[in-house]
Amino acid sequence: MVVDELTEESVDHLFHALSDSTRRDILRRCAEEDRSVSRLADAYPMSFAGVQKHVAVLERAGLVTKERRGREQLVHTEPDAMDRVRQVLEELERTWRGRAERMSDLLAGRPRPRNTD
Amino acid sequence: MVVDELTEESVDHLFHALSDSTRRDILRRCAEEDRSVSRLADAYPMSFAGVQKHVAVLERAGLVTKERRGREQLVHTEPDAMDRVRQVLEELERTWRGRAERMSDLLAGRPRPRNTD
DNA sequence: CTCATCTACAACCATTCGGTTGTATGTTAG
DNA sequence: CTAACATACAACCGAATGGTTGTAGATGAG
């Protein structure tokens, strides 16, 4: 099942990871086929270490995982993570439509805000 | 139709706006019912100006719009924006599943990366 | 073994972010 | 008109981001 908590912080990480076009592109490339970090790095106009950091952000968000393969580190996407993103989005959209205001609280657990309503 | 460009930058803004729990909460509250900025501010443990900035981020992303109502400024959610987010996510997910690798390029237009594949 | 390759990670830097306070401007109530 | 309220916005600050270079450790090829 890998329900995987889905805390506010993890949702922060998920959306933050998706908020950069280079990282979204890394996701697309790795979805097509697993790639090593240095192979990925060849595709962008930045240093190897720079790409390494982007991969680390995607990793923290749980969107990709790395797997040793010889001296390379293969990056591959984690389908479950995408499900989590969609789940949050759907929850948000339900409230959007004005329905299931209660579900909102159950699914996402109101963040820090003290409800001064 | 409001196809609305959907440039890489606008996608950046969308996901960035969603990467903060306070902003997601603002979205939920405004989805339930339009609220003035100061009314929103009452709900969070931060200054009025702080909330103002969060609303500005949501506005830049096109997720909300403000409408003058007397001396207040009512914030209300923009359903179209949510559609755009879902659209990007679906595109990403298609590649995820290994299908329609071509669609990826058409829909999102590869970012800056020079394709050194 | 030796060397080239791939990775990890620290240190640094400019910019952005998330927050603050303070000031100015509009708008409505009395 | 005046006072109170709602907003706007600039200036500032510490922390995080997105990038860099440099160094060091594994691993595979020859």
| Structural domains of chain B ordered from first start | 8-80 (1.10.10.10)
Query: Is A115 a residue whose pLDDT tops 50?
Result: no
Contact A92 B82 (CB under 8 A): yes
Pairwise pLDDT comparison (A117 vs A85), residue with the higher score: A85
pLDDT tens for A9-33 read 999 999 999 999 999 999 999 998 9
CB-CB contact of B105 with A95 (8 Å): no
Q: What per-residue confidence (pLDDT) applies to A46?
A: 97
Exposure of A30 by Cβ count < 10 A (0-12 exposed, 13-18 middle, 19+ buried)? buried
Q: How confident is the model at residue B99 (pLDDT cuts 50, 70, 90)?
A: very low
B86, B77, B85: which is closest to B59 by C-alpha? B77
Question: Shortest CB distance from A44 goes to which of B22, B98, B113?
Answer: B113
CA distances, B83 to each of A77, B17, B21, B43, B55 (Å): 24, 15, 20, 27, 19
Query: Is A106 a residue whose pLDDT tops 70?
Result: no
Query: Order of strands across the sheet with A64-69?
Result: A35-36, A72-77, A64-69
pLDDT tens for B23-82 read 999 999 999 899 999 999 999 999 999 999 999 999 999 999 999 999 999 999 998 888
Q: Which residues bind near strand D, taking a CB cut-off of 7 Å?
A: A 16, 19-20, 22, 45-50, 53-54, 57, 68, 70-71; B 36-39, 41, 48-49, 52, 66, 71-73
Chain B residues whose CB is inside 8 A of the A64 CB are none
Rounded CA–C1' distance between B41 and C9, in angstroms: 42
Distance from CA of A113 to the nearest CA of B (A): 5
Share of chain A above pLDDT 90, in %: 61
Q: What per-residue confidence (pLDDT) applies to B7?
A: 93
Q: What per-residue confidence (pLDDT) applies to A108?
A: 57
Calculate mean pLDDT across residues B16-22: 98
**Residues of B (36-55) whose Cβ lies below 8 Å from A:** 42-45
Task: Centre a 10 Å sphere on the Cβ of residue A42 and count the other Cβ atoms it contains.
Answer: 15
Lowest model confidence (mean pLDDT) among A96-100, B18-22, B26-30 = A96-100
User: How are beta strands A64-69 and A35-36 bridged, if at all?
Assistant: unpaired
